[in-house]
């Protein structure tokens, strides 16, 4: 990787300073062209705000209070990933108000360590899990966010976190990661420019999510408004169904799934499967991050980051 420097030799003082570790991983370093930098800690205006665990016994089917899990933070998104697996209804008595506001930065310290998102609106009825922190940043927030979403930051964090555990725990080590700061005469202009591009990318993603919600609402309304008159009644699977699938723990036995299947099959204009319509299912390419154009390696890092986010905006616009 272009940010990694693997030393060919080390001295005894480096070994002692690294708790006498002989793991090559612990001596790798992240390099960048600029001379000026800050740690993530330097951007904070106050102490970190940690989420709290409520325990699975607090999970319920419906509630007006919600629990945000780590999987709500995804690498390919600037915003919260809202799904039934990532946002859990909880007992109101277990709710802790963390004052989640639009523009707050949320970072993961466990499992998907270093993943960061920015809140697109106020979330007064949501709380963070114990594996998440809210970063109190007031100055250059979007500049910091740009680097927190980049591999430059993740590479540093991976070097700081101990390997070997099934679930990684970064604790507060991400606070020691370095963020490059432009040091030329127009440094303020560079920071402002990058922050503007990040804001554009965030607004694009907001618009995409709004359109997605609108599309799903139209589909749901179309199906629910054109049902053949027939009442839905849920029944537990019988022995014949279980023998047919050879499974007793499958999600397709649950009431929610069967109800959705019922509404689709009961749609007045009919329904069918992909095979019914003579389509074939084939595996496509693996998901990968791609960009338009090439980022020149000899550019200063902060300009490469600017180009990276320009490309992200273009790709979102397509």
Give the tens place of pLDDT for each residue, 120-160: 999 999 999 999 999 999 999 999 999 999 888 888 888 77
Q: 4-185: which CATH topology?
A: Adenine-n6-DNA-methyltransferase TaqI; Chain A, domain 2 (3.90.220)
Query: Looking at the chain, which residues constitute the CATH 3.90.220.20 domain(s)?
Result: 4-185
* pTM metric for this prediction: 0.75
CA nearest neighbour of 313 among 146, 198, 142, 152: 198
**The pairing of beta strand 4-5 with beta strand 126-128:** unpaired
In DSSP notation, 167-221 reads S-B-TTGGGG-EEE---STTHHHHHHHHHHHHHHHHHHHHHHHHHHHHHHHHHHH
Q: What is the pLDDT of residue 315?
A: 47
Structure-model confidence comparison of residues 39 and 289, the more confident one: 39
Residues 180, 181, 186, 191, CA torsion sign? positive
Q: What is the pLDDT of residue 101?
A: 94
Please state, in angstroms and rounded to a whole number, the distance separating the CA atoms of residues 210 and 215: 9
Q: Does the structure show a pLDDT above 60 at 303?
A: no
Give the tens place of pLDDT for each residue, 262-290: 898 888 888 888 888 888 777 666 555 44
The gap from C-alpha 83 to its chain's centroid, in whole angstroms, comes to 12
Q: What are phi and psi of 290, to 5 degrees?
A: -130, 160
Contact 164, 99 (CB under 8 A): no
């Amino acid at each position: 990787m272009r940010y990694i420097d693997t030393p060919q030799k080390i001295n005894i003082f480096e070994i002692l300073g690294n708790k006498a570790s002989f793991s090559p991983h612990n001596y790798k370093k992240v390099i960048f062209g600029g001379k000026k930098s800050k740690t993530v800690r330097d951007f904070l205006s106050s102490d970190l705000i940690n989420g709290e665990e409520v325990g699975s016994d607090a999970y319920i089917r419906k509630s007006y209070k919600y629990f945000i899990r780590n999987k709500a933070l995804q690498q390919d998104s600037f915003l919260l990933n809202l799904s039934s697996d990532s946002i859990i209804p909880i007992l109101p008595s277990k709710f802790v108000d963390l004052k989640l506001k639009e523009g707050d930065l949320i970072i993961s310290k466990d499992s998907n360590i270093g993943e960061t998102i920015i809140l697109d609106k106020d979330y007064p009825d949501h709380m963070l899990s114990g594996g998440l922190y809210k970063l109190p940043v007031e100055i250059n927030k979007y500049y910091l966010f740009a680097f927190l979403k980049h591999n430059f930051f993740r590479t540093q964090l991976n070097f700081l976190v101990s390997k070997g555990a099934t679930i990684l725990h970064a604790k507060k080590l991400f606070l020691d990661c370095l963020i490059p700061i432009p040091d030329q005469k127009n440094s303020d202009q560079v920071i402002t420019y990058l922050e503007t591009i990040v804001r554009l990318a965030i607004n694009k993603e907001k618009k995409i999510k709004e359109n997605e919600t609108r599309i799903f609402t139209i589909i749901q309304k179309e199906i629910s408004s054109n049902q053949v008159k027939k009442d839905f009644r849920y029944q537990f699977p019988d022995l014949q169904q279980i023998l047919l699938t050879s499974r007793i723990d499958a999600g397709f036995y649950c009431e929610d799934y069967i109800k959705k299947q019922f509404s689709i099959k009961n749609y007045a204009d009919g329904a069918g499967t992909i095979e019914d319509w003579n389509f074939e299912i084939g595996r496509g390419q693996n998901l990968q991050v791609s960009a338009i154009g090439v980022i020149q390696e000899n550019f200063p890092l902060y300009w490469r980051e600017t180009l990276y986010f320009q490309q992200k905006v273009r790709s979102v616009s397509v």
